[in-house]
Amino acid sequence: MGESEIERLSRIKSKLEYRARIINSIRAFFSREGFVEIETPLRVPSIAPEQFILPFTSEGWFLSTSPELQMKRLLSAGYERIFQICHCFRKNERGRQHNPEFTMLEWYRALADYQVIIRDTENLVSELAQEFKAGHELIYQGCKIDLSLPWFRITIAEAYQKWAGWNPDEHFDGVRFDHDMVEKIIPSLPQDKPAILLDYPAQCASLARLKPDNPAVAERAEIFIGGLEIANGFSELNDPLEQERRFMQEIELMRHEGKPAVLPVKFLEAIKKLPPACGMALGIDRLVMLFCDTAVIDDVIAFPSDML
């Protein structure tokens, strides 16, 4: 016979208390760094159209899949350093590491690029480790992870050439790219240190800026710790015409598949004034999983979607 709800909530009580302490420390970190905490709506008329992210609809609007568009509108209005801890919603995302409603940390810097936001992430996680683990190491699922700086970095081109035998920057194949990422690249990343994948092919740019000296790749990075994808960040695209072109490509694909998609017109208008900027999205639930040494997201969420 399985455990009751009360038994389960009692069992994870220490992890939820740990979670609260981590979130408090995250807020303190960004306050010290001069960031302003902001709030954006959870229910919005449009979101960034992305083929593989399926939103929940709400009376013709959407539950936010990310606060990204609204936060960048704030950057366009002159805000320089902002962060937010909020709930996001994505359909069909349920598993050991996924819940349809999850907690996201996003932060943005004006007049900076993705290398700066990567260093923010390194410093944040390193400081959390020193506070909660009294050092630079933690144990996750039996593996000792050294969080001391700098973290391991490798470009997508280098990783795919080394572990998959081809270069997606030269001959991009989306199906092969995704398959090899899951089957070959992520399993080959170092497990004893955090790993950063850099410079994704332009076809994976989404809202990221292309490298000025190499437009075949985007200034985008994903961060993995202990096999968990923890964060995704990039230098922001601030060309409204190029952004609209990318959005329309995604919308065409989504409508062909019968998925809801709306062009975010106010965002496209706002980024005409968007300064050079960068942003990072970090999954709070997965970060807490890491520090609590659990492989199951249900252990760090009081009420997962199928337990309501």
With contact defined as beta carbons under 8 Å apart, do 156 and 199 qualify? yes
pLDDT of amino acid 260: 87
Per-residue model confidence as pLDDT tens for the chain (308 residues)? 678 999 999 999 999 999 999 999 999 999 999 999 999 999 999 999 998 899 999 999 999 999 999 999 999 999 999 999 999 999 988 989 999 999 999 999 999 999 999 999 999 999 999 999 878 999 999 999 999 999 999 999 999 999 999 999 999 999 999 999 999 999 999 999 999 999 999 999 989 999 999 999 999 999 999 999 999 999 999 999 999 999 999 999 999 998 888 999 999 999 999 999 999 999 999 999 999 999 999 999 999 998 87
pLDDT of amino acid 38: 98
pLDDT of amino acid 1: 62
Q: Which is it for the CA torsion 10, 127, 122, 65, positive or negative?
A: positive
pTM of the model: 0.95
Task: Render pLDDT for 177-187 as a digit per residue (tens, 0 to 9).
Answer: 999 999 999 99
pLDDT of amino acid 66: 97
pLDDT of amino acid 209: 97
Q: Which amino acid is at 88?
A: C
pLDDT of amino acid 306: 87
With contact defined as beta carbons under 8 Å apart, do 200 and 156 qualify? yes
